[in-house]
Amino acid sequence: MYKIVEKRVLNKEVKLMRVEAPLIAAKAKPGQFIILRVDDKAERIPLTVADTDRERGLVTIIFQEVGLSTIKLGELNEGDSILDFAGPLGKASELDGFKKVCVIGGGLGCAIAWPQAKYLFENGANVDVIAGFRTRDLVIIEDEMRRCSNRLFMMTDDGTYGEKGFVTNKLNELLSGGEKYDAIIAIGPLVMMKAVADATRPYGIKTIVSMNTIMVDGTGMCGGCRVTVGGESKFACVDGPDFDGHLVDFDEAIRRSVMYRDSEKKDVENHNCRLGGGILNA
């Protein structure tokens, strides 16, 4: 059992938890993830390691309540425990050697981009961060991103905070203005990462994306997390999650990402019905 020592509500959809997991905290690196089960009846879900505190043995996870498992996780409080918390899994991001990098996070993807930017900044790289959200009320970890960047550009779709527009609007502005980057790291919705890869392709800039696909075991055995990269099948859990954004078949990944949307919606409706004491759908 893994004890939750801190819980914070970042916005109406997103929560942060710090969990006692000293062995994982001692080894986890940016880009890696854990797989957890809330209880013995829950499914396995992958979550990126957002931060670690090696001295206290804590692992930080940030998640959005979008399905039954994340809703059940969000119902836990400080002092409660998570049944299973396995990791670190996946390959650590290859970040050494970059001198100037633009790190782009979209929505919850900022929680994954944060450790990347932090590592680069602490190791002497010049780091620009572009963080995009739909609206002001959904902004998360702004202070954390500001502390690990030379420049932070906040974008909102509706213009209620920072600059109005998508992350690609700011990226195109920087690139067309002559900014030179060793690499672009983009983490967020698949459509956003695809748009970033399309924007950087004409410039020939190395573009790294994090493929947060459907996962079951996280060890490469089930094949559920497969993605096509450069015409070859790769498993995000063991070959990634980082891949060359110019080689990823995003159209295929987007189709696969919505395969279970209807069943997930039904699970959430049934769970909410139980909480409210209503009659379950047959």
pLDDT digits over 233-256, tens only? 998 888 889 999 999 999 999 888
- Topology (CATH) of 2-89: Elongation Factor Tu (Ef-tu); domain 3 (2.40.30)
Q: What is the mean pLDDT of residues 99-114?
A: 95
Confidence at residue 108, expressed as pLDDT on a 0 to 100 scale? 93
* Domain range 100-257, its CATH number among 3.40.50.80, 3.30.60.50, 3.20.10.10, 3.40.50.20: 3.40.50.80
At 221 the pLDDT is 77
DSSP 19-41: EE-HHHHHH--TT-EEEEESSTT
Question: Tens digits of per-residue pLDDT, 185-232?
Answer: 999 999 999 999 999 999 999 999 998 777 777 777 777 788 899 999
| Dist CA 48 CA 62 (whole Å) | 8
Tell me how far CA of residue 166 lies from CA of 113, 131, 145, 156, 198, in angstroms.
Answer: 16, 9, 18, 7, 14
Q: For strand 183-187 and strand 206-210, is the pairing parallel, antiparallel, or unpaired? A: parallel
Please state, in angstroms and rounded to a whole number, the distance separating the CA atoms of residues 15 and 169: 28
Q: Where are the domains of the chain?
A: 2-89, 100-257
The CA distance from 91 to 82, in Å, is 24
Rounded mean pLDDT of 38-42? 89
Q: What is the mean pLDDT of the segment spanning 142-147?
A: 96
Mean of all residue pLDDT scores within the chain: 89
Q: Are 63 and 70 in contact (CB under 8 A)?
A: yes
Give the pLDDT of residue 279: 42
User: Exposed, middle or buried by CB within 10 Å (0-12, 13-18, 19+), for 185?
Assistant: buried
All residues at 6 or more sequence positions from 104 whose CB lies less than 8 Å from its CB, including other chains: 113, 129, 130, 131, 132, 167, 171, 184, 185, 186, 187, 188, 192, 196
Burial class (CB in 10 A: 0-12, 13-18, 19+), 262: exposed
pLDDT score recorded for residue 226: 86
Are 121 and 127 contacting, i.e. CB atoms less than 8 angstroms apart?
Answer: yes
Mean pLDDT over residues 134-163, rounded? Answer: 96
pLDDT score recorded for residue 69: 87
Torsion angle in degrees (nearest 10) through CA of 12, 48, 35, 97? 180
C-alpha distances in Å from residue 122, one per residue of 83, 127, 223, 224, 242: 34, 10, 35, 35, 20
| Cis amide leading into 241 (omega within 30) | yes
In this structure, are residues 62 and 75 in contact, taking their beta carbons and an 8 Å threshold? no
Query: Could you tell me the pLDDT band of residue 107, with boundaries at 50, 70 and 90?
Result: very high
Which alpha helices (DSSP H) does the chain contain, by range? 22-27, 68-74, 109-122, 142-147, 167-176, 190-200, 236-239, 250-257, 261-276
Question: In the chain, what percentage of residues exceed pLDDT 90?
Answer: 75
pTM: 0.86
Token pair 């990791």 is found at 87
Do 2-89 and 100-257 share a fold? no
Q: Which residue would you say has higher pLDDT here, 39 or 130?
A: 130
Given a cut of 50, whether residue 87 has pLDDT beyond it is yes
Return d(Cα 205, Cα 183) in angstroms, integer: 6
pLDDT of amino acid 282: 33
Task: Give the count of alpha carbons within 13 A of 6, CB side only.
Answer: 13
pLDDT at residue 236, rounded to an integer:
86
Q: Could you tell me if 3 and 19 are in contact, meaning their C-beta atoms sit under 8 angstroms apart?
A: yes
Please compute the mean of the pLDDT values over residues 128-140 and round it to a whole number. Answer: 96
